Amino acid sequence: MKEETNPIKDYLFDYIENSEIIPKLIAEKKFDEIIADVTKNCYDHILSMGEKDEAVGVLATGLLHYLLTNALITSQRKVQYNDNELDIVIPNTKTLEQDPKKTLLIAIPKSSDIRVIEEKVAKLDKIQSVKENIWIVLSKNIPTGQKTFVLSKEENSFSKIIFEIAQFTNVHGTNKFKILRI
């Protein structure tokens, strides 16, 4: 199944592919600096390509997929599970079934509507019994009761997400490679 093209993802990956700094930052495992660079250089243009929450959600998803791959962190993306589409599961749904405390669900609701966010979290609550292992990525800071990362120029807590995922996988023993020592 081929994923449909998306102009925001295309723009993001074109930027990454043509960047002189990103390969150096990848080699140095400076994932927060990659996020900062992409935010600085792509954010405004990407916002002009669509509705803000949707555009930021696509940017966050594409960037997270790229960084998880380069950080060698085991994950599943856009997976169907119990009639729900999960945005990102770390490490995988098999671990979620066997040991929820070792599994992280990252939701990217592509909305600032608190009802939409709460509905998505409620669905995840039924799947992931360990509530602190449900993280949310948003375009602005909205109190959700969950660990939240914001991807915006004004507040970019999203830049620390790979570090925190690596910390989670190292603590819970799901990162077999231990590439990111914390």
Fold type of domain 7-171: Restriction Endonuclease (3.40.91)
Mean of the pLDDT values across residues 60-66?
A: 95
Residues in the chain: 182
Whether 31 has a pLDDT exceeding 70, the answer reads: yes
Q: Are the beta carbons of 73 and 169 closer than 8 angstroms?
A: yes
In the chain, where are the structural domains located?
7-171
pLDDT digit string, tens, across residues 102-155: 999 999 999 999 999 999 999 999 999 999 999 999 999 999 889 999 999 998
List, in order, residues 6 or more apart from 133 with CB less than 8 Å away.
100, 101, 103, 104, 105, 168
Task: Copy the structure tokens of residue 155.
Answer: 């507040």
Provide the pLDDT confidence category of residue 51 given band limits of 50, 70 and 90. Answer: very high
